[in-house]
Amino acid sequence: MSDVLRVAIAGLGTVGAETMRVLRDNADLLTARAGRPIQVVAVSARDRAKDRGVDLGGVAWHDNAAELAGRDDVDVVAELIGGSEGIAKDLVEAALGSGKSVVTANKALVAHHGTALGALAEVNGVALAYESAVAGGIPIIKTMREGLSANRIERVYGILNGTCNYILTVMRETGRPFADVLADAQELGYAEADPAFDIDGVDAAHKLAILSSIAFGTTVDFDAIDIQGIRPISPVDLEYAQELGYRIKLLGIAEQTEAGVQQRVKPCMVPMTAQIAQVDGVFNAVAAEGSSVGPTLSYGRGAGAGPTASAVIADLVDIAADRKVPVFGVPGAALSAPRAAGIESLSGSYYIRLMVIDRPGVLADLTAVFRDERVSVEALIQSGRDPGEIVPVVLTTHETEDAAIRRSVAKIADLEAVTEEPRVLRIEAI
């Protein structure tokens, strides 16, 4: 083992630059904790002329990030480029294949190729570390993989995307519509110019796929996740949630059911009394329920240069200290193929908001549909009367099968008096 851990960084955006800064500013502390110095010897980025606020003197520059994998003076490649394909994937595969450890903040890469990359790391006796890929500065990978290793994990869930949590928080507090708050989030840097991955739930699903693999000892199965984002949520839904004693959160949930592992990312109603309901703004929170420890909750900033760099460097310290654990908690040969369960196998309570023409017989038509599908209505809210106009009708149900709710909503959407696509949110018992 070298006296110095020699690192190459691919990608010098805000996270890469912050990683370099912290490595230099906290060099003495990190050397003490790692048992040896950690030194950046090479970097790669698109623009050499850009001022990143860090000193690159004495550090080799490569325009082609793939060249970092071939350097003999590099022990670890930190991949901070992003994307599940292309140069990021090529670089990680080349680095692992040449006997170099990899630290990555790339949740899409791990979610789509983690099983294969983990096997490649194992064959070559190196580390594939990705603490920074899930929930930013929250050390949830280490918590799940090591701190909870005595437990059978029964369920893992959380707020996994700070952009969505910020938008829902501001909508609830101000009553402003989704599009306006999204524009503010983009101006503040919380949302990308193209925010689709965030607001459509894909980013959260990438992270959930990784957590689910660790929780249940399975290969990563992103394609099995039922995904829905927050675009359809309106201030009206947030107001009704408040009236009913709930808050709306975009949650990623993975749980072991009789039908298999069920994974979903959806906006849902959570009781105001639940700890996770109090997590607002750009913060993330991840809960895991273990057979011995019971429920746990980890909370913190889920993104940003500082939190993400903190997690990158934590992985570098582990590698420098030669602390090595299997990529997904157990050796690759012990990972099982997950038996995926569809959301239709679940049962629970639901919130349903309808926009209907206020006229006699509408409620009778609605209740007839629910009766025929054996759905029991717990509460119904119709605020005031406005004959002939479009008004909201809100219902909550007793526990029922998801499949019955889907059939009911499909029939109701076809009723002449219903003017919009029904809004359906699952009420999560957490």
> What is the set of active-site residues?
207
Rounded Cα gap, residues 77 and 30, in angstroms: 18
Nearest to 99 by CA among 116, 80, 77: 77
Rounded Cα gap, residues 373 and 368, in angstroms: 9
Q: Sign of torsion, CA 87 93 97 100?
A: positive
For the chain, report the end-to-end CA distance as a whole number of angstroms.
47
Q: Looking at this protein, which amino acid is placed at residue 154?
A: E
- Parallel, antiparallel, or unpaired: how do β-strands 294-301 and 283-290 relate? antiparallel
Output phi, psi for 245, to 5 deg: 95, 25
Rounded Cα gap, residues 370 and 128, in angstroms: 51
Nearest to 133 by CA among 223, 210, 36, 64: 210
Q: CA gyration radius for the chain?
A: 24
Q: Looking at this protein, which amino acid is placed at residue 414?
A: D
Contact 430, 287 (CB under 8 A): yes
Q: Looking at this protein, which amino acid is placed at residue 331?
A: P
The counts of H helices and E strands in the chain are: 13, 17
Rounded Cα gap, residues 164 and 167, in angstroms: 5
Q: Looking at this protein, which amino acid is placed at residue 247?
A: R
Contact 339, 175 (CB under 8 A): no
